[in-house]
Chains A and B, each alone.
Chain A
Amino acid sequence: GQQLNQSPQSMFIQEGEDVSMNCTSSSIFNTWLWYKQDPGEGPVLLIALYKAGELTSNGRLTAQFGITRKDSFLNISASIPSDVGIYFCAGQPLTNYGGSQGNLIFGKGTKLSVKP
């Protein structure tokens, strides 16, 4: 089936540093989503991207939908301890007629650890 390659798998950073993670796919996606999961909780949506080239910010988070529609990145600026968690990219594949399929494909996640 379709897969998303998310990297890095894990990151250990110092508080205040910027963070960057990305997702790539071999096929075109119509929608890119970024989620964060805290321990013992379900994922929570951070940013949704719907158009190629779109750059969207949510506080210290910025994400972009790649021009080729096969990739997306998420940046976190000036990290703080509560940024700790697992970040997932997710995407909706394109159908043959150009619309979105109903299924959602998730990357394997980036585990972020922040040292105070």
Chain B
Amino acid sequence: EAQVTQNPRYLITVTGKKLTVTCSQNMNHEYMSWYRQDPGLGLRQIYYSMNVEVTDKGDVPEGYKVSRKEKRNFPLILESPSPNQTSLYFCASSLLGNGADTQYFGPGTRLTVL
């Protein structure tokens, strides 16, 4: 089944403790992206990647890192999480390298930073 998977789905952590949220897609998509969703703010793009080893900042990249060493995986790294990074995070992927086609979203990761 074609899908985007994220792990973990739920995470409660403490300020400053490094964490990684994994994202994987099995559709051989070139474009992958991370978003955060907050009440009243909609979805905001954190980082995106048009292909392996190519990553770019979205609207809200501060406090996050990403890597794209393989086509299928696009992990989101929080080196030193802070409470303002408490949010619902979505990973997405699309076939083309410019994201203009259908983006498939993962199920979301709800992160709480205490």
Residues of chain A lying within 8 A (CB to CB) of residue B97: 102
Contact count band on A: 20 to 34
Count of chain B residues with a beta carbon within 8 Å of a chain A beta carbon = 28
A45 at the interface (CB under 8 A from B): yes
Chain A positions 72 through 116: 1 when the CB is less than 8 Å from some CB of chain B, otherwise 0: 000000000000000010101000000110111111110000000
16 contacts between A and B (CB under 8 A): A1-B59, A33-B103, A42-B90, A44-B105, A88-B42, A90-B43, A92-B98, A102-B31, A103-B48, A103-B99, A106-B35, A106-B42, A106-B43, A107-B42, A108-B42, A109-B42
Binding site for A on B (CB under 8 A): 4, 31, 33, 35, 40-45, 48, 50, 56, 58-59, 90, 92, 97-103, 105-108
Binding site for B on A (CB under 8 A): 1, 6, 30-31, 33, 40-45, 48, 50, 88, 90, 92, 99-100, 102-109
